[in-house]
Amino acid sequence: MNRSELVFVPTPAVGHLVSTIEFSKRLLDCCDKFSVTILVMKPPYESSTTLDSNPSTARSLAASHAHIKIIDLPSVNRPFEILQQSVEKYVTVYIENYKCHVRDAIADHVLPNSSVSGLVIDMFCTTMIDVANEFKVPSYLFFTSGAGFLGLLLHLPGRYDRLGTVFKPSDPVSVVPSYVNPVPANVLPSFAYMDTGYSCFANHARRFKETKVIVVNTIFELESHAVGSLLDCETEIPPVYTVGPLIGEHHVQPSDRAKFGKIMTWLDDQPPKSVVFLCFGSFGSFDEAQLREIAVGLEKSGMKFLWSVRKTPPAGQFVMPGEYANHEKFLPQGFLERTKDVGILCGWAPQVEVLAHKAIGGLVSHCGWNSILESMWHGVPVVTWPLSAEQQINAFQMVRDLGLAVELRLDYRRDSGNHFVVADEIEKAVRCVMDGDGAVRKRVEEMSEVCRKAVGDGGSSSTSFRHLIEVMLPSLDKKEE
């Protein structure tokens, strides 16, 4: 049987790539009429070891499906001078520079072997709609964050047209239809305060409406209000399909296998739900003063801990955080000796596998969307410590709208110099999240069951997936006539 090709163009960042691969796997499991090609760009930052800079790792994640092909795209110049305007503008221009390589990859490596039934693009990749139009195929938006944030982005263009200004942190609360509660200005993403960042995302949101459908990595029951607001949106948007949670696995690099084994062996020796896990994503890092305060807070809490510590890059460099060769550099004197039977520090950590372990009772997190879904899936309550991107608004939604997280901070942001979390706050939040009888824990455990039912037979995400395929199939059937 001839299969028609869906070409995926993900944003070149680890979370986006993992979600894209998981989406393509689920799609192929549900429909045998497609095959998938994923075009992998080089990362927009300097790195040689992370998942998204290593197409061979992407291939290993997709290896279980014979009908997924990975194509490594050539390098393009990194326009670092644009970083001074905003990260969002920089990433957008960087991806625009890949347009010709995407066009060439489709023409040279896909079309000679099969017909293309559509391009599946990421939120930063709206420029690739032009490529889809050139090949006269539909484009589909795969939105790797939540429906609440999607609603915020779709709200931006109309707000700017009415008011002609960006947000300010001191603004009063705003009514954003995709959130239950009025949104304080200080939990909005940093780009909302900047002309270039705001206009960049507003332009992307305008182009979202040019796609045939919007696929969101969420669960209807988790974000029923946000999804409902999108369905009732006053401005016309494409149909929205909720297909989450799409949770991928983390490929263990050969150099990390010994670390992986040490972490999992230590967890095996701990009682159920006794360990708090601190992990802040691919770009999550703190200065040494804040790291020292975290250590003091953990020790005062008396809880067992697994702490993933990353080293902040030098100022002005757009690179991935590194790892400490010597943790004692920033730790309080004697900390490692006093806590040797209580916790361990590591650099890299396999978050999905750790959250799945019976010993984990709580997660102190940056509130990236993938991390939120992973914690909900495994029934692990979260302490909110957002750092950048849309993490502040995610934290707000989890605490205020959904009651599914413990608030440490909602407005912390790494790019601000006036934020510092003291040990007493950390101790209190850790104790709260590890409370075995806590209300948040019970709600998260209930949501875990909801997530699993959603992807099962007859569940909301499975049903949405079937309807999505019905929309995609007419494009395929037309080409086969």
Token representation of residue 145: 């964050």
The pLDDT value recorded for residue 329 is 85
Indicate whether 25 pLDDT > 80: yes
The pLDDT value recorded for residue 52 is 41
415 in active site: no
pLDDT tens for each residue of 100-116: 999 999 999 999 888 89
DSSP alpha helix (H) spans, 209-314: 224-231, 257-268, 288-301
Residue showing tokens 């699993």: 452
3-state secondary structure of 86: coil
Residue showing tokens 């296998």: 257
Does residue 379 come out as left (phi exceeding 0), alpha (psi in the -120 to 50 range) or beta? left
223 Cβ neighbours under 8 A, 6+ residues apart? 146, 147, 148, 242
155 in active site: no
Q: How far is CA 416 from CA 149, 195, 388, 407, in A?
A: 22, 18, 10, 19
pLDDT tens for each residue of 145-181: 999 999 999 999 999 999 999 999 899 999 999 999 9
| Average of per-residue pLDDT across 258-279 | 92
pLDDT tens for each residue of 346-402: 987 889 999 999 999 999 999 999 999 999 999 999 999 999 999 999 999 999 999
Q: What is the DSSP letter of 290?
A: H
The pLDDT value recorded for residue 479 is 47
- Other beta carbons within 10 angstroms of residue 472's beta carbon come to 22
Lowest mean pLDDT among 183-187, 257-261, 279-283: 257-261
What proportion of the chain, given as a percentage, has pLDDT over 70? 90
Domains and CATH numbers, the chain: 4-244+455-480 (3.40.50.2000), 255-449 (3.40.50.2000)
Residue tagged active-site, from 122, 155, 366, 378: 122
Given pLDDT bands bounded at 50, 70 and 90, which one contains residue 234?
low
Helix (H) / strand (E) element for 360: namely strand 360-365
pLDDT tens for each residue of 30-75: 888 899 999 999 998 875 444 444 455 565 566 567 789 999 999 9
Residue tagged active-site, from 16, 155, 204, 357: 16
d(CA 117, CA 3): 10
Given pLDDT bands bounded at 50, 70 and 90, which one contains residue 444?
very high
